[in-house]
Structure 1
Amino acid sequence: MAGSSRSEQRIGLLNGVAAYGMWGLVPLFWPVLKPAGAAEVLAHRMVWSLGFVAVALLVVRRWAWAGELLRQPRKLGLSAVAAAVITVNWGVYIWSVNNGHVVEASLGYFINPLVTIALGVLLLKERLRPLQWAAVGTGCAAVIVLTIGFGRPPWISLCLAFSFGTYGLVKKKVNLGGVESLAAETAIQFLPALGYLLWLGASGGSTFTTEGTGHALLLASTGIVTALPLACFGAAAIRVPLSTLGLLQYLAPVFQFTLGVFYFREAMPTERWAGFALVWVALTVLTWEALHTARRSARTLAERLEGPGGAVLPGGPGGAAREAGIVASGTTGAAEPATEAGAASGVTAASGAAPAPGGCPGPDPLDAPAVKP
């Protein structure tokens, strides 16, 4: 059994690295789609993503959620808001990569945990622990330094971070699994995106039919680029500890930053290095505090669940948190219910779990947050 468990964790870790690695290396893909502009690429991503996700849902025969969603106008409206916000996020990211702003885009995903925490305080009236306040304050100082370094506020970074943070907060209230929520959002995006592509073709501005079969296939593959990392993340989320996913999430912006500096050769004056250093300090503080709090919470739960004379309740010490029905967030250590809400959110209360370490306790790898560039 122990060997099987280690094997499962190894598979989960490999899938997690694959998911965040693909999200981190995606800046190499968008420029290949030129001469298609960012708007055309975005529209194709919406259209083809729906196709690939629909196939996945057909394979696992999971459509009951669609009828339930249509019978709940509030959740349907929130799904529409999520679709609009992620459209902004995807569009800005594609544009920034294709216009020489890969480093600034990576900053958006570095500061996303800090922005999500700030949104939790402002909108959900959540209370932070002292080290979390210190991390947020350091992040604000970093933005000021980077404003000096860029000669302007880092609008691309802020737009990506706030749009993705808002997306996560909205998805907390929708409570759908990752693939289901992606299907709902791309279904909402589908008709406007298809209409734009038809108009673009009629006006002679489309590259889909004018740049050859290879180019058309690349545009169609935007659906795979969206769906495949999500599937890998789902496989990882049910096999590795949430704290591990919380650390793996930083692989994506690290890869993006590395590509921006060393592959795309973007300028990095001293002020920008200083600003990024402050961001990394803030994230180090946030992560250390989260892991420390999670360990302390786990010990407290184990002690509370011990029976008379030190006997442990069914489930054993390692199952203490599961017996209590809660899991620890990989980013903040805050406890949250072990339900699909945690899986669907992409963030937890007062957390900044960028793409998805908020939790995926269900047994199905499709129950993963629909996220990322």
Structure 2
Amino acid sequence: MKGKKYYLAAFSAFFIWGFFSLALKPLSGYPSVTILFYRVFFSVFLMSFINIIFRRKVLLTNWNYFKILAPERKKSVFFLTLGGSCILASNWFIFIYVVNHVSVKAGSLAYLICPILTTVLAFFILKEKLSSWQWLAVSISAFSCILLSLHDFHDIFYSLVVAASYALYLVSQRKNHELDKFLVLNIQLLFIAAILLPFYPNYSGAIPTAGLFYICLSCIVVFFTIIPLFLNLYALKGINSSSVGILMYINPIINFSLAIFHFNEKVTLLQIGSYFLILISIIIFNKKLIFLDKTKIASPKIADSK
């Protein structure tokens, strides 16, 4: 089926992110802003090193392509890239705070709400069409999230902010398809680093000295930042925002399982039932892919490296 690789990329990204709390929770003794500083700065250093040393031809090709774009399209690429940076930075900070200072389940709930918001935003902003079966899946997901919010409404505020920020990022980057995805991500992280740098001296606190901090940070940078973000942006080349949004449910299902079996957080039958409904909604939404439908998936033409 044409487009399978894009679905696989999206699935892989959210599967990896499902285990994010394993690397993040050991750092709960550090301020959220400190983790954010080091996550961004280390990510920028590593990505810039890879691009400059190993991808110079890609940089030159994309720069030449950008120069011949129409002025209006240049402005669009510029604002979508830098605007996405601000949204992504906000999402990271809030998510780190929620997981370490509210609960793992609250972070999980955020990414249960996010696919619904992504689907709705894509429908109204990008005019993406959904089948009746996909709308049914969205309705089941929405009902499940309502059930979860009835159990613990305190967490819903944090979850909504995290969800809305990442939904906006996904929808905005669906239109940002002119340049190489790894390069776009590098530029976005550079911009985030430039925003954060003036605040570092006053808000970073003492430089961490524990080896565990840098081990966990390395995992966060490589396995929970660069790899899944690149896979996510790559997936948006070939499948729409709604499909990527629904596949996002893989993340909270894994996260919820970790909250129960690894972090020993208390759960109820209502929560278990709600997550089961969400699993059903994923199957319904992606039934064409799961049951090997031959429908072709059209993907936009993109200037990207092969």
TM-score, with length taken from structure 1:
0.65
**Aligned equivalents of 2:11, 2:125: Cα separation in 1:** 32
Matched with 2:55 is 60
Matched with 2:93 is 91
Matched with 1:224 is 222
Q: Does 1:196 align with 2:213?
A: no
User: Which of 281, 302, 306 matches 1:340?
Assistant: 302
CA contact (8 A) 2:40 2:192 kept: yes
CA contact (8 A) 2:106 2:155 kept: no
**Aligned equivalents of 2:247, 2:146: Cα separation in 1:** 27
Q: Report matched runs for 1:1-373 at 5 Å.
A: 20-58=14-52, 59-61=54-56, 62-64=58-60, 65=62, 68=66, 72-152=74-154, 154-175=156-177, 176-201=179-204, 206-209=205-208, 211-212=209-210, 215=213, 218-219=216-217, 222-225=220-223, 226-229=225-228, 233=231, 251-289=250-288, 291=290, 295-298=293-296, 328=297, 335-337=298-300, 339-340=301-302, 364=306
- Render the CA deviation track for 1:101-124: whole Å, top value 9, x for unaligned: 222322333444333221122223
Relative distance call for 1:336 and 1:229 in structure 2 (3 A) is closer
Following superposition, the deviation at residue 189 of structure 1 comes to: 0.7
Relative distance call for 1:250 and 1:135 in structure 2 (3 A) is closer
**Aligned equivalents of 1:192, 1:16: Cα separation in 2:** 28
**Aligned equivalents of 2:155, 2:212: Cα separation in 1:** 39
**Aligned equivalents of 1:297, 1:127: Cα separation in 2:** 15
**Aligned equivalents of 2:15, 2:136: Cα separation in 1:** 29
| Number of aligned residues | 285
CA contact (8 A) 1:118 1:136 kept: no
Give the aligned residue type for 2:299.
E
- Render the CA deviation track for 1:260-302: whole Å, top value 9, x for unaligned: 111112221233223323322222211215556x72424xxxx
Following superposition, the deviation at residue 152 of structure 1 comes to: 4.3
CA contact (8 A) 1:114 1:135 kept: no
Give the aligned residue type for 2:295.
S
Identity %: 22
**CA RMSD of superposed structures (Å):** 3.6
**Aligned equivalents of 1:108, 1:283: Cα separation in 2:** 16
Relative distance call for 1:195 and 1:81 in structure 2 (3 A) is same
TM-score, with length taken from structure 2:
0.77
CA contact (8 A) 2:40 2:193 kept: yes
Relative distance call for 1:217 and 1:198 in structure 2 (3 A) is farther
**Aligned equivalents of 1:182, 1:20: Cα separation in 2:** 17
CA contact (8 A) 1:52 1:227 kept: no
User: In structure 2, the residue corresponding to 1:336 is in which secondary structure?
Assistant: coil
Relative distance call for 1:283 and 1:186 in structure 2 (3 A) is same
Which structure has the larger Rg over C-alpha atoms?
A: 1
Following superposition, the deviation at residue 38 of structure 1 comes to: 0.9
Structure 1 gaps of 5+ residues are 1-8, 299-327, 329-334, 342-361, 365-373
Following superposition, the deviation at residue 81 of structure 1 comes to: 1.3
User: In structure 2, the residue corresponding to 1:154 is in which secondary structure?
Assistant: helix
CA contact (8 A) 1:24 1:251 kept: yes
CA contact (8 A) 1:261 1:268 kept: yes
- Render the CA deviation track for 1:191-222: whole Å, top value 9, x for unaligned: 22222222225xxxx1325x346545654664
Relative distance call for 1:166 and 1:290 in structure 2 (3 A) is farther
Give the aligned residue type for 1:184.
I
CA contact (8 A) 1:112 1:162 kept: yes
Structure with a larger share of its residues in helix: 2
Relative distance call for 1:24 and 1:139 in structure 2 (3 A) is closer
Relative distance call for 1:263 and 1:221 in structure 2 (3 A) is closer
Following superposition, the deviation at residue 57 of structure 1 comes to: 0.8
User: In structure 2, the residue corresponding to 1:284 is in which secondary structure?
Assistant: helix
Following superposition, the deviation at residue 186 of structure 1 comes to: 0.8
**Aligned equivalents of 2:150, 2:63: Cα separation in 1:** 48
User: In structure 2, the residue corresponding to 1:174 is in which secondary structure?
Assistant: coil
Structure 2 gaps of 5+ residues are none
